Each structure stands twice: as C-alpha cells, then as structure tokens.
Amino acid sequence: MIASKSRRIQTYLEEGAALRLSSLSLSEKIIEAAEAITLSFQNGGKLMTFGNGGSAADAQHIAAEFTGRFRHHRGALPAIALTTNSSEVTAIANDYKFEDVFSRQVRGLAKPGDVAMGISTSGNSKNVLNGLAAAREAGGRTIGLTGLKGDIQAYCEISLAVPSDNTSFLQEVHIAIGHLICLLVEEDLFG
C-alpha cells in the first residue's frame, strides 16, 4: 500500500514538473504581461485581479505580492483583488447577477492604462470574461491566465494559456507564472 501511494506521489509530482517545464513556451508572453503591469505602475495605473474558487485565491495571492512585497523591500504597488470584498461580491450578485461581480467593479475602478488579470482554469467563467471585457471598454490592458480550452483568449490582449486541462496542475502553474510576473516587475521597477 505504501509503495503504491509513493508511486502515485511520484507520478503526480513528475506530471506537474513536466507541465511547468512545458510552460517555458509562455516565456515571451510572461515578459509581455510583466512589462504591461510595469508600464501601468510607472504611469500611475493599477492592477486588478479576479477569478473564482482556487483562481480567486490565486488572484488574491498575486495582488498581495504587489501590495506587500515579493523579493524586494520596497513601497507598495497598486494592486487589488476584486474577489476579496464579500459585501461587494454578494451585493452585486444579488442585485444584478453573478456574471456581473467583476465587470461592475472594473467599471467603477478602471481607467485607461490599468491592467486587468482574469484567471479561469476552464477559460469560460462568464464573470471573468465580463470583467475582462469591461476592462477593455475602459481602455485597460487585459491578461488572462487559463488552460488549453475556453473563450478567455478572445477577451485578452495577453493570453497565458498553460498547455493542460488538469485544474490542479493549472492552478499550480498559474501561481508560478504570477510569481514570475512579480519577479520581473520588481526587477524592472527596483533593480
């Protein structure tokens, strides 16, 4: 029994490692995303992140790396996860519809030059797609973290489509990409 569990652990970790390595194909897009966020911060803009479930947690994590710090002790950078205000999310979902929870916030917060990062492992979360569409309407730049499937790529200026449809592996690579973006932005802004 222990041997079979050990094999399962090894297989899982090897599959995840292989996906991380195959995501090297996204290097240019990761750089492009980091440069878009850097430019926004340099011009007084902000980053808005959002997603559902595990992707909501990833959105919060990425925003926290910017407002707190990633590797450098530095001033806070203007990033906000649109998933964190439960009063706002539930009021919008109740008074309008759940599909509007991010787009309504984006319409209230976004200005030209801001960046919206939508995260959806399925690539089809309607509220994420609507949030990205609202950001484009406001003159913002759009970044999507997703997998192989879904409509999100049509809503994004920069699509970071991890080559998998396995939700848990996608979430693991999405946070690695988020960390890489934070690393590159900090290096661009602070050396």
The total number of structural domains in the chain stands at 1
Which band of pLDDT confidence, cut at 50, 70 and 90, is reported for residue 72? Answer: confident
Q: Which residues pair with 81 in a beta bridge?
A: 49
- Residue whose structure tokens are 């569990």: 5
pLDDT band at 3 (very low <50, low <70, confident <90, very high): confident
- pLDDT of 1 reads 80
pLDDT of 20-43, one tens digit each? 999 999 999 999 999 999 999 999
Handedness of CA 60, 72, 39, 27 (dihedral sign): negative
pLDDT in tens, 121-148: 999 999 999 999 999 999 999 999 999 9
Residue 183 has pLDDT above 90, yes or no: yes
> Range of 77's domain?
2-190
Give the whole-angstrom CA distance, residue 59 versus residue 175: 9
What's the predicted TM-score (pTM) here? 0.94
Q: How far is CA 37 from CA 6, 18, 127, 169, in A?
A: 41, 28, 22, 25
Strand order in the sheet with 158-161: 79-81, 47-51, 115-119, 141-146, 158-161
Give dist(CA 97, CA 126) in Å, integer: 11
Q: Which amino acid is at 97?
A: K
The CATH number of the domain holding residue 114 is 3.40.50.10490
